[in-house]
């Protein structure tokens, strides 16, 4: 059997995974940068990645039960993301590829979040991609993943994290806000901003901070924020389903771990006769298994290279810039 190694470092998470050439995920190890109260500082995150890389790599090999000389190719996320984090990942990957004389497959992280959805049974879905840095409604049409709608300002995860940091909750804020929201059902009216298939969060952010300063309870604000923001996301996802005529909704990205968002999407799908798909949390948050899953397909389509100098990071590459030649 042949094996593929995958590495993920676009933001807060250093991930390493091993897949066999049938696409089976044999290991999927992550180590994420977190804080008690502050936000995420890119250069600190880079240091984190450098420190944990050897151990996470070794764990991924051990759990898969292979030695490094059994690796056939390396996939890694070279786009999009925070430049210092991407550089650290690329350095690690190029060093390993040189040492073992292996080809590399550079991967767009957002498209990996999408394609891993296939493992849930989704065939031709509309993807609601809700992560820290990205919030997009995407579907495949005519050789590319098209962005039908997106945030006009912050990614929904960054939006939630920013509010959480303001409230002194640390990073990442999403899971903490979810817990707090479960303790309230007092809906405070908040600005709701949907424009066509796009959403915007900055007005809402200002309002939330004001309300917190005025002494509103964090539980009530967390609950009301989730209800409002997720309703916005569900509305644009439903519009994309109607527009494309597709019959499947797939969730992706770290914010999709949120139980309330999953529930609201499920209800919407039931009401319009669409199927709802959601991968397990380990494949929703940043992880290397999804990079490997797409990497394997691209490698089999001939997209690996040993010309290491031709590979670079692309911090701002957009989902719809990538021509899909592996499908």
Q: Which residues bind ligand ADP (CB under 6 A)?
A: 11-12, 131-134, 157, 160-161, 172-175, 178, 253-255, 257-258, 285-286
Based on its alpha-carbon atoms, the radius of gyration of the chain, rounded to whole angstroms, reads 20
3-class state of residue 167 by DSSP: coil
- Of the pair 33, 223, the CB lying nearest Mg ion is at 33
With respect to ligand ADP, which residue has the nearer C-beta, 6 or 73? 6
Q: Which stretch binds Mg ion (CB under 5 A): 63-71, 128-136, 137-145, 301-309?
A: 128-136
- Which entry of Mg ion, ligand ADP, none binds 116, CB below 5 to 8 A by partner kind? none
Query: How distant, in Å, are the alpha carbons of 34, 59, 136, 197, 265 from that of 128?
Result: 25, 32, 6, 12, 9
| Minimum separation from the CB atom of position 175 to ligand ADP (A) | 4
CA-nearest of 114, 153, 118, 107 to 133 is 153
Smallest CA-to-CA distance from 112 within 306, 317, 312 is with 317
| Interaction mask 261-300, Mg ion, x per CB under 5 A | -------------------------x--------------
115 is a contact residue toward Mg ion (CB under 5 A) = no
- Residue 172 interacts, among Mg ion, ligand ADP, none and using kind-specific CB cut-offs from 5 to 8 Å, with ligand ADP
161 binds, among Mg ion, ligand ADP, none (CB under 5 to 8 A by kind): ligand ADP
**Do residues 188 and 221 touch, judged by C-beta distance below 8 A?**
yes
Nearer Cβ to Mg ion (131/228):
131
Q: Is the dihedral of CA 285, 288, 293, 299 positive or negative?
A: positive
Are the C-beta atoms of 287 and 17 separated by less than 8 Å?
yes
Distances in whole angstroms, Cα of residue 258 to Cα of each of 83, 132, 197, 230: 28, 13, 21, 10
* Binding-site string for Mg ion from residue 157 to residue 196, where x marks contact by CB under 5 A and - marks none: ----------------------------------------
């Amino acid at each position: 059997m042949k094996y593929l190694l995958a590495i993920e470092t676009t933001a807060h998470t250093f991930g390493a995974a091993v897949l066999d050439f049938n696409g089976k995920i044999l290991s999927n190890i992550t180590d994420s940068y977190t804080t008690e109260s502050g936000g995420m500082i890119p250069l600190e995150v880079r240091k984190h990645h450098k420190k944990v890389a050897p151990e996470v790599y070794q764990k991924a090999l051990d759990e898969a039960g292979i030695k490094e000389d059994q690796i056939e190719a390396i996939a890694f996320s070279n786009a999009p993301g925070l430049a210092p984090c991407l550089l650290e990942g690329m350095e690690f990957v190029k060093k390993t590829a040189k040492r073992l004389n292996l080809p590399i497959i550079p991967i767009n992280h957002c498209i990996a979040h999408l394609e891993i959805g296939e493992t849930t049974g989704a065939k031709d879905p509309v993807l609601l991609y809700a992560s820290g840095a990205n919030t997009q409604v995407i579907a495949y049409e005519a050789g590319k993943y098209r962005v039908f709608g997106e945030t006009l300002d912050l990614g929904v995860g960054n939006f939630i994290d920013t509010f959480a940091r303001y409230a002194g909750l640390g990073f990442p804020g999403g899971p903490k806000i979810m817990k707090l929201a479960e303790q309230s059902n007092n809906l405070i009216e908040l600005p709701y901003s949907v424009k066509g298939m796009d959403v915007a969060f900055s007005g809402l952010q200002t309002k939330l901070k004001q309300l917190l300063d005025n002494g509103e309870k964090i539980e009530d604000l967390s609950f009301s924020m989730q209800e409002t923001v997720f309703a916005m996301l569900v509305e644009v996802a439903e519009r994309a389903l109607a527009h494309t005529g597709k019959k499947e909704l797939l969730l992706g990205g770290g914010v999709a771990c949120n139980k309330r968002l999953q529930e609201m999407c499920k209800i919407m799908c039931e009401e319009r006769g669409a199927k709802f798909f959601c991968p397990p949390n380990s494949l929703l948050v940043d992880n290397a298994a999804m990079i490997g899953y797409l990497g394997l397909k691209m490698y089999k389509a001939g997209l690996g290279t040993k010309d290491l100098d031709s590979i670079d990071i692309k911090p701002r590459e957009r989902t719809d810039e990538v021509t899909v030649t592996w499908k």
